[in-house]
Structures are given as structure tokens and as C-alpha cells.
Structure 1
């Protein structure tokens, strides 16, 4: 199995647990282009979400997330406009989100990412990433035919080149991997997570940006209320782990004693809470 296939399988597992049931008749392979606001869409397939913005001059998208998905995305976009894709924004550098852009590269599309993404994106062993043609350091506004998308770099969270993607006039937020509503991922997906920095990102977003609509990276449904709940979880986790460390407890002791029962309805709570306790502890005393 290729690396990209493994990543897709991992994402499928995440999504199936979080969102799908046989009773719902939910098919994760089915492409869904849902209009959230006027000419602003969420494209969902294989448990990955992308922002799609349609203008009179062309289309802006985020995160191709694989060759098959990006090819199907083009077909779905063609159902609502004949305008070409002009700009692709990478939320961050992880290959499960950034691969699949070559189909757009052939059309002369502009690829945009935070500058720290350049290193990993240049080292894709499967050569399925279209390298960024434009990068930014702290902030950037991507504009096309009157539609504006602000990109903010708030420092580390899930990696070190995450763009917080925000449409200020339309009040749309794209929150990828630093927020996953009511879901605790497994330890393998926490490798790059600086949990303290993630908490700071969520706090800053909720304080500084105005939005009423959210697209996250994987779960089809989201809301400002769910982002608030993500902040509450991360803050509660920080407080419990911080206090335990100050009391001289080891990480292993904390993994057994910290429970956070308020969030026991979250997907992955029983299986993965100890991994999140451990990651928060390392973020506090190790720094990442």
C-alpha cells in the first residue's frame, strides 16, 4: 500500500467513527459540494473537507487531499461554474492535505502556503505535491473578483506552518487539524501536535476573528459552538495536566488519573484520552 493510501485509510477510519453509520446511508466516497453561503462551498469526500470559492474570474480552493479527490472536485465544480481554478491554498504541509495538486498545476494555478511549509512540501517521496508558487510569513490576503481570504500564521499547533483561513466579509473560518469537533485522534496523529500552542491558536481565533460558519479538515458538520467546545476541552486538559505536574505526578500517573468526564461523549474518549494527556504533558514541560 502506498503512503497516500495509508493516509487515506487512516482518515477514513477517523471519519467512519466520527460521522458515518449504516443507518444514515452515508457514503464517504461520494463527492458532496455544499453551498454554505453565496458562491462559498464546502467540498467533502473521503472524510476531507475543502473550501471552494466561486467568482466571476475563477475559483479558489483549499487542500486538494489526493489525486482522485482533486479530479472529482473539478467535476463537481464544473456543475456550478465553467470558470477555471485559479488559486490553491494549502492549509498546512501534511501530505494527506497537500497531495493531489498536480492536476491544477497543469492549468497554471497559483499555489499558496505559509513559508515554513516549503521544506516538507519539497520532500514528497511520492512526488504528488505541487510546490507553492507564493508563500507568506505572518499574514496574507488572497483576493479574486472581490472575494477576500485572509491567511494568518499564529505559530505552531498541528505542525509549524498552519494557515488559519478566514473570509472576513463572509464570516467563514477554515480550521484544519487544530480543531476537530468532538473527536480525539489516536497517538499516531498527535506526533506534531504542540498542544499548548493549539490551545493558544483556538483562543486567538475566537478572540480576534469574526465568523459564523466553520469548515474543519475532516468532519462534515461544524459550528462556532463546537469550536468553543474544543477550546473548553483543551483548556480543561491543560489545567488538569498542569496541576498534576506541579503536584509531582509522572506522565504515566496522569494518564491513569485524569478523566475529563465532561467530554466522555466525544468520539475516541475511552481509547485515546491517555494519548492526549501525554501529549499535553510533553507540550508543557518539553515545549512542543
Structure 2
């Protein structure tokens, strides 16, 4: 699927992955190179412009988003955060060529009629995962954090830091954007998608806190015994996960719907999100 989401900004999607490219009048800017899109990236770009691919932005280092980076010309200037560059140096993967331009906090890319603000706002998914903002047309790209119309990918999108992941929703909403490109699923997002996922994640946090305060390990031990410590911990965690999951799935949300009616996959992955949230609260921030 190829769509012009704003004048001169093209969104391409296939196989649950998506990204963008932009002709500028002075060469094409493209973000990422998901292997799921493969050679479709080049044909899609050529279907809209004959300009050479001049700049490649890496959203972060994960292979599923930049693992076809070698399809772009060697002459293209690749831009990434310093943490991404460090990770890529360790991988030494020819399919993910090293960036030529590396930044720490922010970088402004101005080419032709396009101006992109690249910023690092913390470890919200993986070190080096950046915000990419075209302010004139109010298009924001942030990969692997928001999942339009769905709950996050399993275990809170495999976030390195759950608390930073939670805070990221407010950071996103502080941007003046209309369209959000998220890297996954079936469509671009919007502010309503961020607000819905934020509410879901905060509901989950509240339910997990309640489960931590309610479930007592001694009560679980009375059922499982205390000799097998891993059996005891498994029962303890499972009781908390079950309590938090049922709370999230049975209490109506702010618009009166259940989460299973409002976001896809809530029935499948809420229990996995509850595990990650409970662990983050228990191990890092019990208050």
C-alpha cells in the first residue's frame, strides 16, 4: 500500500510494517528499510520520483526496521542516534550499513522543501529510538511505541524501560502533530490513538498496583507450599497477573466500551502486558 499522507510525504505499508519517504527537490529522504517491505521500497520511491535517494534516517537499530538498509545507494547519507550507531558497530551487519552522521540529542535535517527535526527523548523502547518530526505538515514518526487501533505489541512493546515507555505517551502528545507514523500495523495513527493507548497503559498500571497490594505471597504459599521457591513465585505472579488482567478487561473505559471492544488484541496480550507492568513496578518503582 502506498499513500500520500501529506503533500510530498509518502507512507508505504506491507506485511504489518510501514515507513515513509519524501522527495525534496534535491533528493529523496527515506526512513528505515524494513525487510518486510524489501524491494518494494525502491519501486515505490521510483513510482513517485526520479530523484536519487540522498538521505536515509534510521529510527533505531532493530533489524526488523532497518535490516534492508543495504538496498539504498552507498552514496546515501545515513543518519542515526549515537546509541544506534554504537549498537550497529557491535552487530557489524552489512545489511545495516553504519551511519555517516551521528547525533546525541537532536539534529535538524533540511533538504529542499523538507525540514525534519530528529530528537532523542530517552529509552522509551530501545536506546537510540528517535522522534522524527516534520513540523510544517505536522507529521510525526516514532517506531515501536504506538500501535494504532491495537494494544501494544506483547510485553509492552518489549520496552527496555517500562516507566519511560509510559511517559512517552505524554511526550508524543506534546508534539503538535496530525499524523503519526508508527512502524507497524495497518494504518497511520492520530492523536486519538495515542490518547487511547495512554489510557489503556495507565489503566493497566493502576490495576497492577492494586494487584501488588492485594495478593499476598503467604496466601499463595498456603496453596502451593514453600519448598519450591520458583513454584511459589510462579503462583504469586500468576495470581497478580490474573487479577490485573481481569480488572483491565472487565471495567468500562472512559467512553463506556471495554478494552476488548476498543483496541484489537486486548483479549490476547493484556496478560503479557500485566506481567511486564507488575515486574517493572515490583522491581523498580513500587510506589
> Structure 2-normalised TM-score?
0.81
Distance 1:95 1:147 in 2: 27
Aligned to 2:230: none
Aligned to 2:59: 91
The structural deviation recorded for 1:184 is: 4.0
Among 108, 111, 115, the alignment partner of 1:144 is: 111
Aligned to 1:72: 40
The structural deviation recorded for 1:244 is: 2.7
The structural deviation recorded for 1:270 is: 2.3
The structural deviation recorded for 1:54 is: 1.3
Distance 2:165 2:158 in 1: 13
The structural deviation recorded for 1:145 is: 0.7
Alignment of 1:101 onto 2:69 = yes
SS in 2 for 1:113: strand
Among 142, 149, 168, the alignment partner of 2:135 is: 168
Alignment of 1:286 onto 2:283 = yes
Give ranges in structure 1 of 5+ residues lacking alignment: 1-31
Aligned to 1:36: 5
Structure 1, residues 36-59: CA drift from partner, whole Å, max 9, x if none? 111011011222111111110011
> Residues 88 and 287 (structure 1 numbering): CA distance in 2 closer, same or farther, change over 3 Å?
farther
Among 177, 181, 190, the alignment partner of 1:215 is: 181
Distance 2:115 2:169 in 1: 22
Aligned to 2:243: 257
Aligned to 2:146: 179
SS in 2 for 1:230: helix
Distance 2:164 2:56 in 1: 26
SS in 1 for 2:186: coil
Aligned to 1:53: 22
SS in 2 for 1:183: coil
Aligned to 2:161: 194
Paired residues, number: 253
8 Å contact 2:151–2:197 — kept in the other structure? no
The structural deviation recorded for 1:267 is: 2.5
Structure 1 runs of 4+ with >6 Å offset: none
SS in 2 for 1:69: coil
> Structure 1-normalised TM-score?
0.81
The 10-residue stretch of structure 1 (248-257 or 235-244) with the greater mean CA deviation from structure 2: 248-257
Among 211, 236, 243, the alignment partner of 1:244 is: 211
> Residues 216 and 122 (structure 1 numbering): CA distance in 2 closer, same or farther, change over 3 Å?
same
Give ranges in structure 2 of 5+ residues lacking alignment: 217-235, 250-257
> Residues 97 and 251 (structure 1 numbering): CA distance in 2 closer, same or farther, change over 3 Å?
same
Distance 1:79 1:252 in 2: 52
The structural deviation recorded for 1:190 is: 4.5
Distance 1:114 1:286 in 2: 29
The structural deviation recorded for 1:247 is: 4.2
8 Å contact 1:194–1:280 — kept in the other structure? no
Distance 1:171 1:191 in 2: 28
Distance 1:184 1:204 in 2: 17
